[in-house]
Amino acid sequence: MIKSLRGVGYSLETAVADLIDNSITACASQVSLNLAWNEGNPVAAIFDDGVGMTEAKLVEAMRFGGGGPDTERTVNDLGRFGLGLKTASFSQCRQLTVVSKTHSDQTAFTWDIDYLADMGSNWQLIEGDEGLPLDLRAILNGSSAGTLVVWRKIDFGRKDDFPSHASFKRDLERLDHHLGMVFHRFLDGDAPRLSILLNGSPVKAWDPFLEAYSIPTPIQPIPSPGGRILFRGFILPYQDRFATKEEFDRAGGPNGWLSQQGFYVYRQKRLIYFGGWLGLGPSRSWTRDEASKLARIRIDIPNSADRDWRIDIKKSEARPPDAIRPRLQQLAEDVRRRAREILVHRGDYGRRSATSEVSKIWKINAENSDRRYSIDRTHELVATLRKRLSGDRQSLLDSILDVIERTVPVERVWLDVTEKGVKPVLLDEAASVRSALELVHVLEKNGFAFSDAITAVQKMDPYEGIQGLREKLLQLDRFKK
């Protein structure tokens, strides 16, 4: 049975996260993870400063199925099936030792798969920490209470495909990012504060919602089987709102902007499900697409809703109850729509007076039009050029514009965006003002009064979003003169 449970599907990061759940339940304020390569024989030690367990409680914790899914749990209990400690550990190793210390006692037990195989059908739990290296035994010495989980005989659940040292280091980097995301509300948020050290370095929180910069929707309580849930959408800022490319990349998350869009489901403020649309959609399920990449949605569910949300053993999957799917879809559609508007307007949606007042050279026509995108012939620049041309040259201009419209590489652009994403073009306001002034002078040479030219440029895409543009143009013009 243990060998079968090794194949539940844990990765290193989901296994470690499952152990940290136990530390949070034990009211720990710090978890220290040490994963050593140990010359190709890795050893992992996870220590927390929680309340610890008595001998009786530790035996129960080592029991398979102890405290199962029907157990009534406290609000800070992140357990689910009574299997996490064992299944998470055995997904990565063949020998599990747990040493726990209370204010009055210290006790230890070990499960060893190879020992059990030799014992036949006898489930023999090994008592004590015999064979545990002295440096690991010493971890508990400076603490009045706490629990130490040690993995030995680590094979990562594989038979022959053992990772190299370089792969092991990449796994640790992925683990760091994963823990920073899953426990970000504990590391730096609205949950009880927890610090996590990975090989001595603090794990940094990654907030999927960038709440200081995003546009949030109101919190929507939704009555649901298993208990009320809370829904809140966030529309993230456009890429040129970030100061650096590094800041933009970090905001994209461990898996990048496209993959991290969608729902984030939290169970007692611990992230369960992230990045995806929970199978919602009007006729077919929504997919992760470029148009919705700025949309992220937070859902908080209580641990009393585990069965109805079908939380799995790894606590990495969730599915909403059928009763609330229509409401979730309705709210999510609004968040996706608003995110698309931000993307279309390049982040300036919130501060434009009205879209109709912005002078755009490209028009988006109705879906049934013979041409999806066309150049606005009434745009100031096009109209000004037409006035400067004679009849034949006006026809040439019309032909050029027609060819441009017919050859817009829509499919190629969409494919490039989907496959490669969009490189962040950080806003260079000084360059934009210089470009705007050059355009003002062009209009001025073609019959516009200087003040009227500034007014026209102020309304043009892409200059209309620059705050105080008129004053900046006047100042720059005086400087150049």
The pLDDT-based confidence of 351 (bands split at 50, 70, 90) is very low
Taking CA atoms, 426 is separated from 242, 251, 262, 290, 432, in Å, by 7, 14, 25, 19, 11
Quote the pLDDT of residue 166: 94
**Alpha-carbon torsion (41, 46, 47, 51), positive or negative:** negative
Please say if the pLDDT value at position 354 is more than 50.
no
Please say if the pLDDT value at position 424 is more than 50.
no
- Beta strands 262-267 and 295-301: pairing type? parallel
Q: What is the dihedral of CA 367, 369, 370, 375, to 10 degrees?
A: -100
The pLDDT-based confidence of 311 (bands split at 50, 70, 90) is confident
Q: For the chain, what is the mean pLDDT?
A: 86
Quote the pLDDT of residue 346: 58
The pLDDT-based confidence of 366 (bands split at 50, 70, 90) is confident
- Beta strands 106-112 and 201-202: pairing type? unpaired
**Residue range 198-226: average pLDDT?**
93
Quote the pLDDT of residue 81: 47
Write the pLDDT tens digit of every residue in 158-172: 877 888 999 999 999
**Residue range 432-447: average pLDDT?**
90
Quote the pLDDT of residue 129: 83
Write the pLDDT tens digit of every residue in 256-295: 898 999 999 999 999 999 989 999 998 889 999 888 999 9
**Residue range 174-188: average pLDDT?**
96
Least confident of 36-45, 128-137, 351-360, 455-464: 351-360
Kindly give the interhelix angle for 429-445 and 469-480, rounded to the nearest 10 degrees. Answer: 70
Find out whether 33 and 23 touch, Cβ atoms under 8 Å: no
Q: How many CB atoms lie within 10 A of CB 460?
A: 17
**Residue range 393-415: average pLDDT?**
85
Residue 393 or residue 147, greater confidence: 147
